[in-house]
A and B are shown apart, each in its own frame.
Chain A
Amino acid sequence: MAGKAFRDNAARAAGAPWLTLKTREMLEAWLFVSPTLIGFLIFFLGPLVAIFYYSTTEWNLLSQQATFVGLRNFHNVLLENPDFWHVVRNSVIFALGLVPLNMALALSLALALSRPFFGVVFFRTVFFAPVVTSAIAWAIVWKFMLQGEGGAVNQMLAWIGINGPNWLREPNWAMAAVIVTRVIKMVGLNMILYIAALQSIPRDYEEAATLEGASRWQVFRMITWPLLAPTTLVIMVLTTIGSFKVFDHIYQMTGGGPENGTLVLAFYIYQQGFKFFNVGYAAALALIMFVIVMALTLVQVMLRRRDME
């Protein structure tokens, strides 16, 4: 549709001598970006502005009444609410567990699967498939498998003589379980990014280094790993952001429990906004999360830049 509109417009423009070439090109350019731009305005900038506004109100969804309260929501979140810091701590633990595990696994898989061999496509597909399956379905399946009594995981552990815990009912195990199952779900994406990056490194470097006497580990450490740095940064930023935004996974597997042991920021925002209907409070939380994610991203980018110099 956009294409047709563009052609019509271009045809009109071509037949309209009063439009200079420059104006016409400008028009075309705007036309091309307009679908994205309109989407951006409506679905991103709009809500962002709205959230700024909501965060300064006390608005209970049920009462349909919003009262302006200035920065009181922020004051409450940061200074009066011990839950908030507990939730942030959970989010940080989740990220600290997930990001390194995910990246290490993704890189190992990519190193194993970046060169062709018989069956390589099969293995890549196997590891990528979870990425495109529904997060909810994935969580439900794992919830069953991780049941204390009769769950598939504990049954397998029993074969080798280990008495597995009730994974999702004990706070520490629950956190470990949501991290690991989330990693298995998402690792395929980073694996693909790493495979693409590895394949774009010319074989010559490795061959030259090998001829000069470098071991495979030296080639990796001194050649491959530095050349992967830009990809590593992108993956690190995206994975960190993703881990702070995790919601559906927690929602389905633990509901934030047990004893709020897996209550992470995004899920807490949902709880405040749509279970307790504190919209203004939830909006303030969302803004704080936005700032945290933004800050983390900037720090990572800056660290990398310093590293390169």
Chain B
Amino acid sequence: MTKVLLKDIRKNFGTVEVIRGVDLEIEDGEFVVFVGPSGCGKSTLLRLISGLEHISDGELHIGGRLVNEVPAARRGVAMVFQSYALYPHLTVRDNMGFGLKVRKVPASERARRVSEAAATLKLEPLLDRFPRQLSGGQRQRVAIGRAIVGNPDVFLFDEPLSNLDAELRVHMRSEIAALHQRLSTTMIYVTHDQIEAMTLADKIVVLRDGRIEQVGSPRDLYDSPRTIFVAQFIGSPKMNILPLADGQPIALGASVPATATSVGIRPEHLSLGQPSNSTLRGKVGLAEYTGAVTLLHVALDGGQTCLVIHNQGPAPETGAEVGLRAEPGHLHFFDKEGRAV
């Protein structure tokens, strides 16, 4: 049973508060993803949990134990670094066995556990190579293998896939998902790639400026974002936010809450219609054809640009007048503080 519990965790570097009061409960075996823009404190929060940084204030419990003052090595966590941090002068085998060696595990036991992990990750042919003789994807796998060997209670990943090319990233993503299914160990994963977050997570934690903006399942965050920030951060291409000017009848059929000042519509929930009988009209600016769909940038009469995903038939020409229809039930209303209403 390895629950991770954060109670009002704070971290400051000098006078700058970087993590500003985070409360979070992570269930045993859960896959939790921290997302947020660059500099919001994802890595810092992960390092606080690992013990690589000292917690300024608040309480951190791992497996029911208060670990604020427990050294990193004794928190039962393993971390996969963005740089992989494979020791360059050691072979793959020695890299994977390093933690067991410093913990004085007997050589035979060590060999057994290394080969077990190597088998899991299909690393056997690489065991005698040095890190410099491996491709990016192989290094990544070794880094994960090194984490597995220690048999930790909690895995921590800091943007583990960001140094890989797009194709390999998709592949490794599925391997990490498979690994989680097999081990069912608690995993905490940092990324700023929201697709990674959506596909991997049981629970997504959206961070902003050192605070939690919203916590929920991928579907929760997609369907009912609590703020404009989350609404625009989750989902790609990002949600259109249009001001609700008086008398602008965007909200087709839906009743507009009294305090709402803007409405959000995802590009995939807009479709094209005749300009004459649409309430939202504009001119097609840019059309980005991606094969399956075309992403249209429509310049609205009101002045804003609105993204539309078009996937039925040929896309209109650049400069064409179009009308837009929003699917009812997929409108999000926000007040002037940016909170959902």
Contact = CB atoms under 8 A, between A and B. Distances in A.
Interface stretch (B34-42, B56-64, B72-80, B277-285): B72-80
Interface stretch (A127-135, A210-218, A231-239): A210-218
Contacts of B98: 209, 212, 214, 222
B77 to A, nearest CB: 7
A207 B85 contact: yes
Contact of A212 (B52, B89, B99): B99
Contacts of A215: 102
Interface string A200-234: 00101101111111110010001100110100000
B49 to A, nearest CB: 11
Given A204-B81, A226-B89, A227-B89, A211 B50 contact: yes
B87 interface: yes
B145 interface: no
B52 A207 contact: yes
B319 interface: no
A218 B81 contact: no
Interface residues of A, number: 18
Contacts of B87: 205, 208-209, 223
A227 B50 contact: no
Contacts of B52: 207, 210-211
Interface in B5-62: 50-52
B88 interface: yes
Contacts of B77: 211
Interface residues of B, number: 21
Given A202-B83, A204-B83, A207-B52, A212 B73 contact: yes
B102 A212 contact: yes
Contacts of A212: 73, 78, 98-99, 102-103, 146, 150
Contacts of B83: 202, 204
Nearest to A207: B52
Contacts of B103: 212-213
A31 B176 CA distance: 58
A204 to B, nearest CB: 4
A243 to B, nearest CB: 29
Chain B CB within 10 A, most for which of A205, A210, A212, A218 = A212
Contacts of A204: 81, 83, 85
B85 A222 contact: no
A213 B75 CA distance: 10
B100 to A, nearest CB: 9
Contact of A210 (B73, B88, B89, B150): B73
A208 B72 CA distance: 10
Nearest to A213: B73
Contacts of A207: 52, 81, 85
B73 A208 contact: no
A202 B73 contact: no
B230 to A, nearest CB: 31
A279 to B, nearest CB: 50
A226 B73 CA distance: 22
B102 A214 contact: yes
A127 to B, nearest CB: 28
Contacts of B51: 211
A211 B72 contact: yes
Contacts of A229: 89
A229 B146 CA distance: 24
Nearest to B78: A211
A228 to B, nearest CB: 10
A116 to B, nearest CB: 13
Nearest to B77: A211
A223 B98 CA distance: 10
B85 A205 contact: yes
Contacts of A210: 52, 72-73
Contact of B79 (A211, A213, A214, A223): A211
A202 B102 contact: no
Nearest to B88: A227
Contacts of B88: 227
B301 to A, nearest CB: 53
A212 B88 CA distance: 16
A207 B78 CA distance: 11
B102 A222 contact: yes
A106 to B, nearest CB: 21
A218 B79 contact: no
Interface string B75-113: 001110101010111000000001100110000000000
Contacts of B102: 209, 212-215, 218, 222
Contacts of A202: 83, 85
Nearest to A308: B89
Nearest to B82: A204
B44 to A, nearest CB: 14
25 contacts: A202-B85, A204-B83, A205-B85, A207-B81, A207-B85, A208-B79, A208-B81, A209-B98, A211-B50, A211-B51, A211-B52, A211-B72, A211-B78, A211-B79, A212-B73, A212-B98, A212-B99, A212-B102, A214-B73, A214-B98, A214-B102, A218-B102, A223-B87, A227-B88, A227-B89
Given A208-B81, A209-B98, A212-B150, 13 more contacts: A202-B85, A205-B87, A207-B85, A209-B102, A211-B72, A212-B73, A212-B146, A213-B73, A213-B74, A213-B102, A214-B99, A223-B87, A229-B89
9 smallest CB-CB distances across A and B, nearest first, come from A212-B99, A204-B85, A213-B73, A208-B85, A214-B102, A226-B89, A213-B103, A218-B102, A211-B72
Interface of A: 202, 204-205, 207-215, 218, 222-223, 226-227, 229
